[in-house]
Structure 1
Amino acid sequence: MASLLYGVGWPGGLLFAVGLFASILIALELGRLVWQWQVDSGREPETTGVSAVASAIFALLGLLVAFTFSGAASRFDMRRTLIVQEANDIGTAYLRLDLLPQPARGELQEIFRQYLDARLDAYRAIPDRKRIDEALVRSDVLRERLWIKSVTESQRTANTVATMLLLPALNAAFDTASTRLASTKEHPPSVIFGLLFALCWIGAFFAGYGMARRGPRNWLHALFFAAALSVTLYVIVDLEFPRLGLIRVDAFDEVLQEVRNAMR
């Protein structure tokens, strides 16, 4: 389960971006070398056919970048929304524990506080897989205890309002937590990313071929081209894994922390 939370992160994300930048520069250089090879062999470099193929490749690349960027941004917003929704559901369920008599109320409130602590620990532990596993297992155990004891105490009390209000609120809090965890594995199929990177390299190859000329090479164009592509792809990947890169949802955990602080 913890594996759902992992992704490309910082400084891993930095290495990914640098590697992508370097690979695009290599593809540009390969395109230039092919052009130079044709010139050295006495053949006239192809222009019309290369332009048509390059245009088609860059059109496909633009479409794929737009698709993946839009999807990543939507999933990023959804994850932030789920954090707020979980905070609201937990806050509501905790308040409805007041419907139960003492000492059951105090026991359940303490279990609820421990449950929320475990939930917070699971996400703050990223990328430590061992700590994430431990926190998630602990939260599952506490959730089970919380539910069983709530059902038992609701059956014991003569107040039917407790059963009608408390149990649905707990169920909603647990469902949102499960949805939030499942949302961390909602990504495009790996073949989409593979195609995206492949089109970048193929496009860079044809761009290098098209920019080749006799005389000194123009590094400025190549550097800007490689930087634009690598930064764009890094942002897309960063949006897909918003707990390990520069684009993060950690600040929204403060909403859950505020709910925890109010649990006195």
Structure 2
Amino acid sequence: MGSLLYGTGWIGGIALAFGLFASILVAMGLGRLVWQWQVNAGRDPETTGVGVVASAIFALLGLLIAFTFSGAAGRFDARRTLIVQEANDIGTAYLRLDLLAAPARDELRETFRQYLDARLEAYRAVPDRERVAQALARADELRDRLWARSVAESQRAPVAAATMLLLPALNAAFDTASTRLASTREHPPGVIYALLLSLSWIGALFAGYGMAGRGPRNWLHELFFSVTLAMTLYVIVDLEFPRLGLIRVDEFDEVLQLVRDGMK
């Protein structure tokens, strides 16, 4: 699912939502066909056993949806928090460059500005994988240059405060950046999504089978069921990839942009 969204952005998200809706609706139609096949074959459609199995499947589906939704929402909030944390850490480290003497201080400030520009570009380039990789590589290069020069200049500083205050602040900023990158790759195993989809389709099949025995096809009920389940599944996926679908964390990048605008 993530690769589909990654390649097409929010358009892929809309396509995914419609695909889920159509597949659930088809599964319900198949359930109705199974019922009709049994009637045409002169058999009495099963009701009691099917009800027990369907109840168990829907109970398991509800539990799995609750589990995945809670995890996705938690990771979404964590990613937003990390953006603010990185902005604070970068702002602190940039201010502590004042502990160094000119001209090294001015050179490091310019390098720091370029580093933050590269970080911002990396996240704004999504879903273009090539641009993201280039921006991250550029940020890593500037990070290494910034750290090496800061260590060297701190050792030349007349007071120990430069080493004691500047280097830990830089380290915190770089650690948060690494944590942010790792958080973008933190998702449930693919088997969880496969199980969620499988249970949704099986549940829809049983729902269609059960509704078939209650008279003519009720399109309103089937559409309501399909839309509700499809949108729930879509929101779970969208929360897991908050830079690719409709639910996004882009507005939180403005916190980093404010820090960048304040780097004079």
In the superposition, the TM-score normalised over structure 2's length comes to 0.97
The question of whether the paired residues in 2 share the 8 Å contact of 1:9 and 1:238 is answered with no
Superposition pairs of residues 211-230 of structure 1, within 5 angstroms = 211-213=211-213, 216-230=216-230
Q: Which shifted more, 137-146 or 5-14?
A: 5-14
Superposition pairs of residues 68-217 of structure 1, within 5 angstroms = 68-213=68-213, 216-217=216-217
The residue matched to 1:242 in structure 2 has which SS? coil
The question of whether the paired residues in 1 share the 8 Å contact of 2:155 and 2:163 is answered with yes
Q: Partner residue of 2:240?
A: 240
Of all paired residues, the percent bearing the same amino acid is 77
Q: Partner residue of 2:9?
A: 9
Following the alignment from structure 2 to structure 1, what is the Cα–Cα distance between the partners of residues 234 and 7?
Answer: 12
Q: CA deviation at 1:130?
A: 1.2
The residue matched to 2:10 in structure 1 has which SS? coil
Q: CA deviation at 1:70?
A: 0.2
Q: CA deviation at 1:215?
A: 5.3
Gaps of 5+ in 1: none
Q: CA deviation at 1:7?
A: 7.5
The residue matched to 1:11 in structure 2 has which SS? helix
The question of whether the paired residues in 1 share the 8 Å contact of 2:8 and 2:127 is answered with no
Following the alignment from structure 2 to structure 1, what is the Cα–Cα distance between the partners of residues 143 and 215?
Answer: 70
The question of whether the paired residues in 2 share the 8 Å contact of 1:93 and 1:170 is answered with yes
- Post-superposition, which runs of at least 4 consecutive aligned residues in structure 1 deviate over 4 A? 5-8
Following the alignment from structure 2 to structure 1, what is the Cα–Cα distance between the partners of residues 77 and 6?
Answer: 18
Query: Taking structure 1 as reference, are residues 195 and 114 closer, same or farther at Cα in structure 2, changes over 3 Å only?
Result: same
Q: CA deviation at 1:216?
A: 3.1
Q: Partner residue of 1:28?
A: 28
Q: Which shifted more, 210-219 or 82-91?
A: 210-219
Q: CA deviation at 1:251?
A: 0.5
Following the alignment from structure 1 to structure 2, what is the Cα–Cα distance between the partners of residues 25 and 190?
Answer: 23
Q: CA deviation at 1:8?
A: 7.5
Following the alignment from structure 2 to structure 1, what is the Cα–Cα distance between the partners of residues 199 and 81?
Answer: 33
Following the alignment from structure 1 to structure 2, what is the Cα–Cα distance between the partners of residues 216 and 89?
Answer: 63
Following the alignment from structure 2 to structure 1, what is the Cα–Cα distance between the partners of residues 235 and 135?
Answer: 29
**How big is each residue's C-alpha offset from its partner over 1:149-190, in whole Å with a ceiling of 9 and x where there is no partner?**
000000111111001000000000000000000001111110
Following the alignment from structure 1 to structure 2, what is the Cα–Cα distance between the partners of residues 8 and 23?
Answer: 20
The residue matched to 1:179 in structure 2 has which SS? helix
In the superposition, the TM-score normalised over structure 1's length comes to 0.97
Following the alignment from structure 1 to structure 2, what is the Cα–Cα distance between the partners of residues 214 and 140?
Answer: 63
The question of whether the paired residues in 2 share the 8 Å contact of 1:97 and 1:105 is answered with yes
Following the alignment from structure 2 to structure 1, what is the Cα–Cα distance between the partners of residues 111 and 49?
Answer: 69
Q: What residue identity is the alignment partner of 2:91? A: G
Following the alignment from structure 1 to structure 2, what is the Cα–Cα distance between the partners of residues 219 and 205?
Answer: 15
Q: Give the count of matched residue pairs.
A: 261
**How big is each residue's C-alpha offset from its partner over 1:57-89, in whole Å with a ceiling of 9 and x where there is no partner?**
000000000000000000000000000000000
**How big is each residue's C-alpha offset from its partner over 1:25-78, in whole Å with a ceiling of 9 and x where there is no partner?**
110000000000011111111000000000000000000000000000000000
